[in-house]
Amino acid sequence: MVFRRGDEVEVSSKEDGFVGSYFPAKIISELMKKEYIVQYKTLLREDMSGPLREIVAADEVRPVPPEFPANGFSLCDEVDVYANDGWWAGKVTGKVGGKYFVYFETTGDEIAYPLSNLRVHQEYVNSKWVSSSFKNRALR
């Protein structure tokens, strides 16, 4: 997929500790080597003077996934959690009160989050969004 200046996207990270995460950004320009200059919406420069801009490979950029309304999740549902300025993939392992426990395979952590921080996990495959095995039934 080719992105144009101003397109809203998500950028994956291949750095240790960040694998499996996506950060909201906007395309600033397209470079000739299948790369883009992006400006992150939530990440700042080291000196905190403004939004971080960087050059990223085209295979690290995807469109923003479509919204998939969810009023709850079930055990083992794949979700994305908004935390630490980006979206992180995990699996629901339980629910206590209004919080869902999510396990992150890449870190081995299990952390509780409110429903407002969760979205249905989707993969961008062959220029199409494919939702996870979301069952659309809430834990009780």
Task: Give whole-number Cα distances, 23 to 56, 63, 94, 137, 140, in Å.
Answer: 12, 11, 26, 28, 31
| pLDDT computed for residue 110 by the predictor | 98
* pTM assigned to the model: 0.87
- CATH 2.30.30 residue ranges for the chain: 8-63, 78-131
Angstrom distance (rounded) from CA 91 to CA 39: 29
CA distance 25 to 40: 4
Q: Tens digits of per-residue pLDDT, 39-52?
A: 999 999 999 999 99
Instruction: Assess whether pLDDT exceeds 60 at residue 140.
Output: no
Tens digits of residue pLDDT in 52-82: 999 999 999 999 999 888 889 999 999 999 9
Q: What's the CATH number for 78-131?
A: 2.30.30
CATH number of 8-63: 2.30.30
Residue-wise pLDDT for 96-129, tens only, equals 999 999 999 988 999 999 999 999 999 998 889 9
